[in-house]
Each structure stands twice: as C-alpha cells, then as structure tokens.
Amino acid sequence: MVNKKLKEAAMGFVLGAIGGCIMGAIEDPVDRTLSDMSTKSQLKPLIDDIRTVGALGLGTLMGASALTIAMTSVVAGVIVAAAVASVFVSTGSCGPTLTNYANLWTSAGLAGAFATTLSGATLGFFTETIVNIYGMVGLLCALSFFSILKPPLRFVFNVLWKQGEACCAQSTTAWETEREQLEISDLDQRERVAVQIEERILTIKNGRNITDAKDMSTWATERKLREGLERKKMEAEEAQIKQRTLQDWITTVMVKYVDFLAFSGIPMTVVAVVTSLFGLFGYAGHHFVFIALVALVAIIGYLIVKLLDFKFWMLIGCMGMLATFLIAMLTIQAGENIKAIMNQKGQPKHDSISIGDRMSDHSSREALKTAIIAAKLCQLSLGATVGGPLVRHAAGGGKVIIGAAIVAVGLLTGVEILSPVLGKGGKAGALLGVVGTSGVAMGAVAAMAAQCSSWPRTAGTVAGVIIGTLVMGELHIFMIGVQIIVAYIFAMTNAF
C-alpha cells in the first residue's frame, strides 16, 4: 500500500515537474526579447508618439495590441486544431471503432501549436512594422479596423465550418462500409441457419438420428458467429455514438472560440480608442481624462454584466479591458515617478526638456513591459482553458502534458533559430504562441491534479509544478506564483 502511494506521488511529481519546467523555461527567452525591444532604437517610435497620444493613450494602445495578439493567436490555433480533429473524426481516419485516438490528438495538437505560434509571429511582425512606419496613430487605426472586421469574420467562419462538416459527412464511407459488411454477414448467417433448419426437418421426416456430432458442432459454430456479429454491431453503435459526441464537442469548442475572437477584444479596443483620441485632441495631460477612463471602464463592465449573457468570452473581454486600464495606469505612474525623483534631486527648472524626455522614455518602457507581461498571462490562461477540458473530456493527463511539453520545446528551439528572420516583434509574438502551448501543459497538470482521487499523486503533482517552475524560471517567485494560480483557475473554468 505504501509503495503504491509512493509510486503515485512520484508519477504526479514527474508530470507536474514537466509542466512546471516548460513554463519556467520560457521566462528567460521572453525576458531577453523584452530587453531587446527596450533599446533606444526600438523604443523611439513609442517615445516620439507618447507626446501625441499621451501616456494614457500609449498604455491602452500597447495593452490592447498585445492582448489582441495573444487572444487572436490562441483562437487561430484552436480553430486549426478543431478543423484537423473534425476531419479525422468525420472521415473515420482514426478507425471506425475509434479505439485509438493517438493520431487524431497528435495531429490536432501539432497543427494547433504551429498555428498559434505562426499567427503570433505574423501579428507581432505586422504590429512592429505598423508602429515603425505609421506610429501609434497607424496602430490605432489598424486595431480599430481589426476589431470591426472580427464580427463579420465570425459569420464567415461559422458558414465555412458548416459547409466543411457537410462535405465530410457526404464523403464518409467508413461507417457505411462497415455497416453494409455487418448486414451482409448477418444475412448470410441467417440464410445458412435457415438451410440447416430445413435439412434437420427433412432429416426428422426421414426418421434419421438428429444428434449427430457434426450437426452439433455446426450449431455451436453458428451460435458463436451470431454472438460475434451481435457484439460487432453493439461496438459499432457505441463507436458511432462516441464519434458523434466527440464531433459535437469539437464543434462547440470551435464555435465558442470564434465567438471569443469576434467579441472579446471590443471592450479593450474601445478603451484604447477613447483614450488615444483624447491624446490626439490635446487633452492627454488633463485629470478629467483619467476620470472619464474610469467611468468608461465602469460603464462597459456594467453593460456586459447586466445586459448580455455573461459567457466565458465576455469574462475574458472584461479582464482584457481591466488589464488595459492597469497598463495605462502603470505607464502614467512610471513617468510621474521619474518626475518626482528628478525634482527631489533639485533638477534645474530650465532642464524641463530633459525631465520630459526621461518621463517619456520610462513611460514607454513600462508600457511595453507591462503589455508583454499581461499578454503572457493571457496566453497562458487561454492555453490552460484548452488543456484542462482536453484532459476532462478526451485524453489522458500524462499524454497531454508530455505531448504539449515536447511541442513547446520544439517550437521554442525553432523560434530561437529563426529569430533573425522574425525580427523583435515577430519573435515576441511567436514566443507568446509557445507560452500558449506551455499553458496547455499547465492546464492539463491542473486538471489532472484536481480530478485525481489519490492525495499522494495530487500532492506530488503540486510539488513538481512548484519545483519545476522555480528551477527553470530563475526563481521569479512572484510571477511564477501568479502564473500557476492563473493556469489553475482557467484550467478548471468551464468555458463551453
């Protein structure tokens, strides 16, 4: 009994450590990328435009853009993974009996991870290009256009998904072929039995012995064939029900995430547009702008909770809006801290230009830093919302954890190799995709620990996660603790 508990604890520790290590291993690449993006040359567009949109507008724009990249890349990965899984299930590529889903989940996981990373890199590259060429005003226009474009895209996605399901259903032959074969076998067996019954009737009429050993052996063989056919029919029906249930779940996931793509970014985009417009019209430094922003956040939050069906994607929208607001506040606070320090040091009044430059520089750095951190937490949480339900609905926890960890390591290596081609923005977006993949592993760890009936295994899993993240995460205790809590909460959230 003791040995069994120790084995369960050890197994939980290993799986938890794998999830924790992959999450902690991404800390250093993200920190290095953030340092590269914080150089004078990289920050120049932000410093130049902070006087145009103000510190408040810069903070909301950076926050809304980073969170939009994170959310969109995760949704792109989920949509691609759902499409691949749906094709496997609809066409029966995983086998008519549905006993082996290894190819399905492997293919869907790889497709989703690559799509998330690729879309993150693409969006990051285009964001950096827009900022360098058109400045923050160009980013504001691009963000607004993308937010307007997403609701129509939702309609297009839903139509295309229904058409794809219809095409797959029409082209599916595996189930029909197996059903026809079973019906033919059943009919042949019935005909043979009928012939045998007729022969036995004739035998009786002729007064012969009906207890012949050969006849008894034939009847035993036919009975076994009948039992085998009935068993195959039952297995086929159960497999079809399982296939239909899985297909319905995949469709539900896809539809929910498309809704999430369409609507979750609207609240934070509205906040970014309003505050940026205040800055463009010359009101960035007035105190009433802060009051207006607080009122706007409160009104949007109230309308979402009161007037709409408060679903998962609305919750994320509210969180994104609040994160955008927090980033803006930290951006302003960073500049004010520099001003207070300079004044305490007795900076000459004629050196106000130097104070303004330092305020702009520090505010820009804070806006970039907090935006990346918020986007990383968002990506991790959304990845956990995939990993948690995946363990609860479909696959084993160990397979999901190990698979997601292996894919994350491969993607991280690929991003580091291709970093000269991706550029700073592209690399940051790609790393956010890797964070999402690690979030899948962390979500699977959380779901496995929560649903495990063995306390030693649960304790071992928790210990493994903590030790793994601390060892690989360079002892960033506070941020690692926040990430673990966020991953657990979202992994246990019923988003569907």
Choose among 338, 328, 353: nearest CA to 53: 328
What is the predicted pLDDT for the residue at 183? 65
Query: How far apart are the C-alpha atoms of 400 and 396, rounded to whole Å?
Result: 6
- Residue 271 is given by DSSP the state H
Q: Mind giving me the DSSP string for 414-473?
A: HHHHHHHHHHHHHHHHHHHHHHHHHHHHHHHHHHHHHH-S-HHHHHHHHHHHHHHHHHHT
Whole-angstrom CA distances from 367 to 30, 43, 238, 472 are 16, 11, 55, 26
Query: How far apart are the C-alpha atoms of 116 and 124, rounded to whole Å?
Result: 12
What is the predicted pLDDT for the residue at 170? 54
- Residue 129 is given by DSSP the state H
Between the two ends of the chain, the Cα-to-Cα distance in Å is 39
Mean pLDDT by 10 residues, the chain (496 residues): 73 84 85 83 79 80 88 87 80 50 77 90 89 86 88 82 66 56 64 63 60 58 66 69 77 81 81 83 70 81 69 73 81 74 60 65 82 88 84 71 87 88 87 89 83 74 83 74 83 72
Query: How far apart are the C-alpha atoms of 361 and 338, rounded to whole Å?
Result: 10
Q: Computed over its alpha carbons, how large is the radius of gyration of the chain? A: 30
For the purposes of burial, counting CB atoms within 10 Å of the CB of 299, is it exposed (0-12), middle (13-18) or buried (19 or more)? Answer: exposed
Query: How far apart are the C-alpha atoms of 463 and 468, rounded to whole Å?
Result: 8
Show Cβ contacts of residue 112 under 8 Å, excluding neighbours closer than 6 positions.
Answer: 77, 78, 80, 81, 84, 386
At residue 98's C-alpha, the angle toward residues 251 and 402, to 5°, is 75
What is the predicted pLDDT for the residue at 203? 63
Which residue, chain included where needed, has tokens 């508990």? 5
Within the chain, what is the greatest distance between any pair of CA atoms?
129
Whole-angstrom CA distances from 398 to 294, 441, 462 are 45, 9, 14
Choose among 271, 289, 265, 269: nearest CA to 54: 289
What is the predicted pLDDT for the residue at 307? 64
Tokens of 22: 């992959």
User: Over 351-419, what HEC string results?
Assistant: HHHHHHHHHHHHHHHHHHHHHHHHHHHHHHHHHHHHHHHHHHHCCCHHHHHHHHHHHHHHHHHHHHHHH
Choose among 19, 12, 22: nearest CA to 449: 12
Show Cβ contacts of residue 424 under 8 Å, excluding neighbours closer than 6 positions.
Answer: 33, 36, 37, 42, 128
Position 172, amino acid = T
What is the predicted pLDDT for the residue at 251? 81
Choose among 125, 120, 145, 137: nearest CA to 45: 137
- Contact between residue 102 and residue 88 where contact means Cβ atoms under 8 Å apart: no
- Contact between residue 255 and residue 158 where contact means Cβ atoms under 8 Å apart: yes
- Contact between residue 243 and residue 89 where contact means Cβ atoms under 8 Å apart: yes
The dihedral of CA 259, 265, 271, 274: what is its sign? negative
Query: How far apart are the C-alpha atoms of 397 and 391, rounded to whole Å?
Result: 5
**CA torsion angle 203 204 208 211 (round to 10):** 90
User: Over 284-326, what HEC string results?
Assistant: CCCHHHHHHHHHHHHHHHHHHHHHCCCCHHHHHHHHHHHHHHH
Tokens of 61: 């724009």
Which residue, chain included where needed, has tokens 């189930």? 175
Query: How far apart are the C-alpha atoms of 400 and 440, rounded to whole Å?
Result: 8
Query: How far apart are the C-alpha atoms of 465 and 479, rounded to whole Å?
Result: 14
What is the predicted pLDDT for the residue at 97? 45
What is the predicted pLDDT for the residue at 313? 67
Choose among 103, 88, 247: nearest CA to 162: 247
What is the predicted pLDDT for the residue at 297? 81
Whole-angstrom CA distances from 243 to 92, 97, 183, 316, 370 are 9, 9, 21, 31, 44
Show Cβ contacts of residue 219 under 8 Å, excluding neighbours closer than 6 positions.
Answer: 196
